[in-house]
A and B are shown apart, each in its own frame.
Chain A
Amino acid sequence: MSLWMWLLLACLLGYAWKLLGYLVPATLLRNPRMSRIAGTMTIGLLASLTIVNAVASGQSLALDARMGALAAAGIALWLRAPFLVVVLAGAGAAAGLRLLGWS
């Protein structure tokens, strides 16, 4: 039940951000610092989520088949593959490496 609560709160706060943009006076838009923080935070969070999902397992670090997924996704993106192909490349690499015996 507790996960439901945090999930719904996240939804509420997500909508609150969006709505706030429509309700605050446009003068705040002229503050480039707010807009910069929103941007740098997006980059930082996505970079952090990428690496956490690649190497963290609970509170320890592990180099396993997920590193292969990271590399495969990087190559797919480099080749300008669409998002879904990138995701499939990551899944395929991880599954393939496990078949070959690399955890």
Chain B
Amino acid sequence: MKLLQSPAVRVGLSISIATGLYGISFGALGVTSGLDFWQTMALSLLLFSGGSQFAFIGVVAGGGSGVAAMGAATLLGMRNGIYGMQLNALLQPRGWRKYAAAHVTIDESTATSTGQTDPDEQKRGFWTAGIGIFVLWNIFTAVGALAGSALGDPKQWGLDGAAVAAFLGLLWPRLKGREPVAIAVVCALATVLAVPFVPAGVPILIAAFVAAAIGWFSHGRSDEGLEPDVDPYAEHHQHPRQGPAAEEAGR
């Protein structure tokens, strides 16, 4: 049981449980958004990135097209590419491990890994959180999807309200400081203004381009918005996260 004495493994396991559990809400919202059980499962098994998965079903639930859903999910997945670059430099996986590591590269596994300083601990943290979340997230997605399809009228149970709350819950940890709040407000306004004029789903893509333009032209922290939904080290630091991106920007 030596492995359980590793702080990174312990953090990885607790983050797996916390994150995996909210797969229930994804599963339930997936089947009530109009996807069937296997489509919901395919998102958790193959897309495996909370924000992108919620984005896909959020667009479909709002009556958006499959293309718009794919667009929103893909744009939200861009940050995983940034995490991949950080983790590749940090863990240097070889051969097939590189391809496996890529699949479990998400907010939480990255945060668990970059929160450690010892290279072995960084590896243990990444794989524990990555595999742990993958397994639990998929189990609980299935549980939620089965429960969701047994519920009957989703509106009666407030599941449309649950979707709103889920998105706010994903956004919230990223609103640290004045600038991210301003970006969120501007993008929300742009969305509301666009809704009456363009097909459903498209306002979300317009907001993405507004946000990208802000990122291109402004000069804030380079890791802004790259916070995990569930912070593995929440009790250890009240100050901003010191990931590789933050260090990189300081050089």
With A38-B81, A43-B187, A52-B62 already in contact, 8 other A-B pairs whose C-beta atoms are closer than 8 Å: A22-B101, A29-B82, A35-B223, A40-B214, A44-B208, A70-B164, A86-B169, A94-B155
Q: Please, how many angstroms separate the alpha-carbon atoms of A7 and B159 in the complex? A: 22
How many whole Å from A61's CB to the nearest CB in chain B?
A: 6
Check if B77 sits within 8 Å of A13, measured CB to CB. yes
Check if B70 sits within 8 Å of A9, measured CB to CB. yes
Q: Given contacts A49-B58, A88-B162, is CB(A14)–CB(B85) below 8 Å?
A: no
Q: Contact partner of A41 among B84, B85, B93, B208, CB < 8 A?
A: B208
| A1-52, CB < 8 A from B | 2-11, 13-15, 17-22, 24, 26, 28-30, 32-52
Number of interface residues of A (CB under 8 A): 79
Check if A59 sits within 8 Å of B199, measured CB to CB. yes
Q: Given contacts A22-B93, A29-B86, A66-B164, is CB(A41)–CB(B212) below 8 Å?
A: yes
Q: Contact partner of B161 among A2, A18, A34, A93, CB < 8 A?
A: A93
Q: Given contacts A18-B80, A91-B162, A95-B158, is CB(A2)–CB(B66) below 8 Å?
A: yes
Check if B172 sits within 8 Å of A77, measured CB to CB. yes
- Secondary structure of the A contact surface, majority rule: helix
Check if A73 sits within 8 Å of B82, measured CB to CB. no
Top 4 closest pairs, chain A to chain B, by CB: A21-B84, A90-B165, A44-B211, A94-B161
Check if B208 sits within 8 Å of A94, measured CB to CB. no
Write out the residue numbers on chain B whose beta carbons fall within 8 Å of the beta carbon of A55: 192, 195
B69 interface hit (Cβ, 8 Å): yes
Write out the residue numbers on chain A whose beta carbons fall within 8 Å of the beta carbon of B165: 69-70, 72-73, 76, 86-91
Check if A46 sits within 8 Å of B82, measured CB to CB. no
Q: Given contacts A46-B174, A51-B188, A84-B21, is CB(A10)–CB(B183) below 8 Å?
A: no
Check if A35 sits within 8 Å of B222, measured CB to CB. yes
- Which residue of the partner chain B has the closest CB to A12? B46
Write out the residue numbers on chain B whose beta carbons fall within 8 Å of the beta carbon of A69: 158, 160-162, 164-165
Check if B77 sits within 8 Å of A14, measured CB to CB. yes
Q: Given contacts A38-B78, A53-B164, is CB(A61)–CB(B183) below 8 Å?
A: no
Interface centre among B49, B51, B70, B86 (most CB of A within 10 A): B70
Q: Given contacts A21-B88, A40-B215, A65-B158, is CB(A29)–CB(B210) below 8 Å?
A: no
Q: Contact partner of B208 among A4, A8, A48, CB < 8 A?
A: A48
- Which residue of the partner chain B has the closest CB to A51? B188
How many whole Å from A93's CB to the nearest CB in chain B?
A: 6
Q: Please, how many angstroms separate the alpha-carbon atoms of A5 and B191 in the complex? A: 26
Q: Given contacts A14-B52, A15-B46, A40-B214, is CB(A45)–CB(B72) below 8 Å?
A: yes
Write out the residue numbers on chain A whose beta carbons fall within 8 Å of the beta carbon of B72: 45, 49
Q: Please, how many angstroms separate the alpha-carbon atoms of A57 and B79 in the complex? A: 29
Check if B82 sits within 8 Å of A54, measured CB to CB. no
Query: Interface with A: B1-9, B111-119, B121-129, B224-232, which one?
Result: B224-232
Q: Please, how many angstroms separate the alpha-carbon atoms of A37 and B72 in the complex? A: 15
* Cβ contacts B174-205/A at 8 Å (1 or 0 each): 11000010011111101110011111100110
* Cβ contacts B55-82/A at 8 Å (1 or 0 each): 1101111110111011011111111111
How many whole Å from A39's CB to the nearest CB in chain B?
A: 3
